[in-house]
């Protein structure tokens, strides 16, 4: 726990300092006291802080949602995107970028697409009986169809728009502005809080499908938990694009460090996810200045290396 707090301080300091222009600790202290260069001040307040908030909220949401879906699907390799959130968001965002007038916000398209696809997966699996395997299979099938539709749209779009759509898909936290980030962060906090109330349900669900049913957890409770978690994951996807591996990797790490009880796992996963995504984004925008590496590329790379390392560890 002390390590987590120390890591939080280090990552926050790095996120404030690093970037296209390095801001020294001295300058940061001056800003805190209300002095300092107005350009530095604008850079920190208008760009870096909303971006930091966005990274923290998105990381917490993805990792918190991932923890819940891994418990619900009883599959430690289940990614929260398996329920169609990312495929739907990609379709919605691509449609807005390629075919709708510039005034229509991409966030709205992505959010609607993401919830629409989730609804489709949920209804399909419920119709076929809401088993965890059915849900995973329905999710995989629908995600494949949605990505084919996205590729079909590319064929008809202008190349500059297609490039924008592809960049969106890699995840971009630089779009963070207070008017979107503040309500988004608040909603993430409320949804994580709501999931925390179901922590004992999630423990029982982890024991098995029949076990949880025999302890009185029925489709209604499962549906409620599912939709809270789906909303939680849809928010960062709509705001920042598809950032892979956070929802898969972070719950894994927290579970191995702090055990499988969701009363601890949900808040700790959310904190770890928030810090991990902030660290990844900070690295992405300070490794190759003046270029920015999309955050999804960094999390994907880290995730891939992490899984290979885990396979080696397991073999040993």
The residues of the shown chain that bind other proteins, judged by CB under 8 A, are 74, 197, 200, 203-204, 206-208, 210-211, 213-218, 220, 259-261
Distance CA 142, CA 83 (A): 9
Q: Are 285 and 292 in contact (CB under 8 A)?
A: yes
Nearer to other proteins, 210 or 316 (CB): 210
Q: For the CB of residue 188, give the shortest distance to other proteins in the complex, in Å.
A: 21
By beta-carbon proximity to other proteins, the closer residue of 84 and 251 is: 251
How many residues are present in the chain? Answer: 316
Least distance to other proteins, CB of residue 100, Å: 42
The encoded tokens of residue 10 equal 């280090």
Beta carbon nearer to other proteins, 70 or 94: 70
Are 131 and 125 a contacting pair, CB within 8 Å? yes
Shortest separation between residue 212's beta carbon and other proteins, angstroms:
9
- The three state secondary structure string of 181-203 is HHHHHHHHHHHHHHHHHCHHHHH
Q: Looking at beta carbons only, is 119 or 196 nearer to other proteins?
A: 196
Whether 191 and 232 have beta carbons less than 8 Å apart is answered as yes
Distance CA(66)–CA(244), nearest Å, equals 11
Query: Closest approach of Cβ 256 to other proteins, in Å?
Result: 11
**Least distance from other proteins to the Cβ atom of residue 53, Å:** 29
Q: Which is nearer to other proteins, 99 or 207 (CB)?
A: 207
Closest CA to 132 of 70, 87, 176: 70
């Amino acid at each position: 726990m002390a390590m987590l707090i120390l890591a939080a301080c280090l990552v926050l300091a790095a996120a404030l300092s690093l970037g296209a222009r390095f801001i020294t600790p001295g300058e940061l202290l001056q800003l805190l006291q209300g002095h300092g260069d107005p350009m530095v001040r604008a850079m920190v307040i208008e760009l870096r802080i909303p971006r930091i908030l966005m990274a923290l909220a998105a990381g917490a949401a993805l990792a918190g949602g991932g923890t819940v879906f891994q418990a619900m699907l009883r599959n430690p390799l289940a990614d929260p995107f398996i329920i169609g959130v990312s495929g739907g968001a990609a379709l919605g965002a691509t449609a807005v970028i390629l075919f709708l007038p510039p005034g229509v916000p991409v966030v709205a398209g992505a959010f609607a697409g993401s919830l629409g696809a989730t609804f489709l997966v949920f209804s399909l699996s419920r119709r076929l009986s809401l088993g965890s395997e059915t849900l995973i299979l329905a999710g995989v099938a629908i995600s494949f169809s949605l990505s084919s539709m996205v590729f079909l749209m590319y064929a008809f779009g202008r190349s500059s728009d297609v490039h924008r759509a592809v960049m969106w898909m890699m995840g971009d936290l630089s779009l963070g502005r207070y008017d979107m980030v503040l309500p988004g962060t608040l909603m993430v906090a409320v949804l994580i809080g709501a999931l925390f109330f179901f922590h004992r349900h999630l423990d029982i669900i982890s024991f098995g499908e029949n076990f949880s049913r025999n302890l009185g957890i029925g489709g209604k409770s499962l549906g409620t938990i599912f939709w809270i978690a789906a909303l939680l994951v849809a928010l960062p996807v709509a705001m920042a694009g598809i950032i892979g591996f956070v929802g898969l990797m972070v719950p894994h790490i927290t579970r191995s460090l702090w055990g499988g009880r969701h009363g601890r796992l949900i808040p700790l996963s959310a904190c770890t996810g928030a810090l991990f995504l902030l660290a990844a984004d900070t690295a992405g925008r300070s490794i190759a200045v003046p270029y920015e590496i999309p955050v999804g590329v960094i999390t994907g790379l880290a995730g891939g290396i992490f899984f290979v390392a885990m396979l080696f560890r397991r073999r040993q």
